[in-house]
Amino acid sequence: MRKIDEHLRRVAAHPGRYANPDVPAAPSRHLAILTCMDCRIDLFDLLGLYVGDAHVLRNAGGIVTEDVERSLVLSQHMLGTHDIVILQHTQCGLLMATDEQIDAEIEARTGRRLPWRARTFTDLDDSVRISMGKLRASPFVDTNGELRGLVYNTETGELRPVSETSD
């Protein structure tokens, strides 16, 4: 049996367990969170969230991209979120390589050049600040609510705030 089929069989055996008919699409905490896709980040447990509390956006690095901006604009203007958290983490894969290295690796595997950049970074705090700055600069994202930057330490489990300006 294929791995995805195992997951589908589990859901089929207990379909009601995964239904959320009473949870509205608008997050109850009016919160949107951008974080990395890294599977070590159990965001709901880490921040004490439940289904329906927040919109969660995940991508490689937890960085603001055009699609993240699109999702945040819709989250805010259509579903009432006000506050935004950008949460990146230590030991991120995008800290471990350069765009050029990733480009070369993917081209070696596929025979094709990537049409986009991986957007690697060397300074975690600076990466959080850059993403915060991109949101502040957007004419469509409302940053009048709280905009917070955090770094999650994957070794200790601690969260550390990142200021919008380098000290």
Summarised one tens digit per residue, pLDDT across range 117-150 is 999 999 999 999 999 999 999 999 999 999 999 9
What pLDDT is stored for residue 10 in this prediction? 86
Coil/strand/helix, residue 141? coil
CATH number of the domain that residue 89 is part of: 3.40.1050.10
pLDDT tens column, 88-112: 999 999 999 999 999 999 999 999 9
pLDDT tens column, 58-75: 999 999 999 999 999 999
Give the residues across from 88 on adjacent strands. Answer: 151
What pLDDT is stored for residue 119 in this prediction? 96
Coil/strand/helix, residue 109? helix
What pLDDT is stored for residue 60 in this prediction? 97
29, 53 contact by CB (below 8 A): yes
> Mean pLDDT across the chain, nearest whole number?
95
What pLDDT is stored for residue 15 in this prediction? 78
Structural domains counted in the chain: 1
Determine, yes or no, domain membership for 123.
yes
Determine, yes or no, domain membership for 16.
no
Determine, yes or no, domain membership for 6.
no
Determine, yes or no, domain membership for 131.
yes
Q: Cα 126 to the chain's mean position, in Å?
A: 16
103, 114 contact by CB (below 8 A): yes
What pLDDT is stored for residue 50 in this prediction? 95
Determine, yes or no, domain membership for 54.
yes
Q: What percentage of the chain carries pLDDT values higher than 70?
A: 99
Q: Read off the DSSP letter of residue 19.
A: -
What pLDDT is stored for residue 84 in this prediction? 98
Determine, yes or no, domain membership for 27.
yes
What pLDDT is stored for residue 137 in this prediction? 97
pLDDT(1) > 90: no
Task: Tell me the Ramachandran region of residue 95: left when phi exceeds 0, alpha when psi lies from -120 to 50, beta otherwise.
Answer: alpha
What pLDDT is stored for residue 16 in this prediction? 83
Determine, yes or no, domain membership for 1.
no
Cα distance between residue 67 and residue 61, in whole Å: 14
Determine, yes or no, domain membership for 17.
no
Range of the domain at 43: 22-162
pLDDT tens column, 31-48: 999 999 999 999 999 999
Cα distance between residue 14 and residue 65, in whole Å: 37
